[in-house]
Amino acid sequence: MSKDSCNKLLCWTLGLMLSSAAAAQPEQYEAAFSGDFGIGLNQNHVAEAARAQHASVVLYLNGEYGPAFARIDTFGVGLWPLAAGHLELLTRVVGDGYQPADRSLPKRRDSLPLGLGSLQITQYGAFMANLYRDAGASHGTLASLLYAAELPLKEATFYPQFGLEYRNAAYLRYYDGTSAYRPGAANSPYIALFTEIHLKQRWYFNVNLRKSWLGTSIRNSPLVIHRSPSTALAAISYRFN
């Protein structure tokens, strides 16, 4: 399928879903925020040889306000009910932009993913599937699959996660390509562990650790020096009910 055909199909599908959402029977939502709000420290190692990589202070937001929601790095709105969840209009903060260590190479800007997805919460765990189009410089396609379990233990709850991320050639050629290397599409598996610890009253300490194994075409890039990058987030939050 050509690039123009993919763009037309994506626009047609998005338009159809938004039209259907508008025509669907509205759900009843509470006009109040429910979830966790706080501040945290995020350490995100990009795979490439960048001039600067450091920890940053971030807002921590994990909750819902009516049909709108925030899930740490993913934000969106539920369009209409779908099985054990909703069809959702999404965006995500990836933090994939960087300035190459080689000053002769141009800066790669952060992506701006926009897309559709769904989070299905079942008795067997949570299943998530998201598909994005980068409205930023790469104009590439991103997709992700995730399974998460819930393991409560006294004052802590653990959420082990297993996932797979897809990046198409257009995305990877912008971020990891050079004049001499043009990567193809890649699938990168990852594991993560999100831990929620109840401190006192409505205060919680949250930690998210993640380890990825990059796909072959990413690992083969001369710009990539970390073949299995890790990320870490620690945050203090207050729970609104």
Which token pair is 3?
A: 């690039």
| Secondary structure letter of residue 223 according to DSSP | T
Q: What is the pLDDT of residue 35?
A: 97
Which token pair is 60?
A: 């921590």
- Residue 102's alpha-carbon distances to 52, 118, 182, in angstroms, are 12, 39, 18
Judge residue 2's burial from the number of C-beta atoms within 10 Å of its C-beta, 0-12 exposed, 13-18 middle, 19 or more buried.
exposed
The per-residue pLDDT of the chain, averaged, comes to: 89
Beta carbons within 8 Å of 2's beta carbon, 6+ residues apart: none
What does the pLDDT average to over 45-67?
83
Contact at 8 Å (CB) between 99 and 51?
Answer: yes
Q: What is the pLDDT of residue 230?
A: 93
Instruction: Report how far residue 25's alpha carbon sits from residue 152's, in angstroms, rounded to the nearest whole number.
Output: 36
Q: What is the pLDDT of residue 2?
A: 46
Q: What is the pLDDT of residue 185?
A: 98
Question: For the chain, what is the radius of gyration of the CA atoms?
Answer: 19
Contact at 8 Å (CB) between 45 and 229?
Answer: yes
User: How sure is the predictor about 31, in pLDDT bands with cuts at 50, 70 and 90?
Assistant: confident
Beta carbons within 8 Å of 169's beta carbon, 6+ residues apart: 140, 182, 183, 184, 185
Task: Indicate if the pLDDT at residue 33 is higher than 70.
Answer: yes
Q: What is the pLDDT of residue 111?
A: 96
Beta carbons within 8 Å of 74's beta carbon, 6+ residues apart: 90, 91, 92, 93, 130
Q: What is the pLDDT of residue 241?
A: 87
User: CA torsion angle for 26, 147, 110, 106 (degrees, to 10)?
Assistant: -150
Question: Taken in order 123, 76, 58, 50, is the CA torsion positive or negative?
Answer: positive
Q: What is the pLDDT of residue 134?
A: 98
Beta carbons within 8 Å of 227's beta carbon, 6+ residues apart: 47, 213, 214, 219
Of the candidate ranges 15-24, 68-77, 93-102, the one whose mean pLDDT is the lowest: 15-24
Instruction: Tell me the pTM.
Output: 0.85
Query: Is the pLDDT higher at 82 or at 24?
Result: 82
Instruction: Report how far residue 158's alpha carbon sits from residue 150's, in angstroms, rounded to the nearest whole number.
Output: 6
| pLDDT more than 90, % of the chain | 76
What does the pLDDT average to over 30-42?
93
pLDDT digits (tens, 9 = 90+) for 182-233: 999 999 999 999 999 999 999 999 999 999 999 999 999 999 998 999 999 9
pLDDT digits (tens, 9 = 90+) for 142-188: 999 999 999 999 999 999 999 999 999 999 999 999 999 999 999 99
Contact at 8 Å (CB) between 221 and 180?
Answer: no
Q: Which structural domains are found in the chain, ordered by start?
A: 3-22+31-240 (2.40.160)
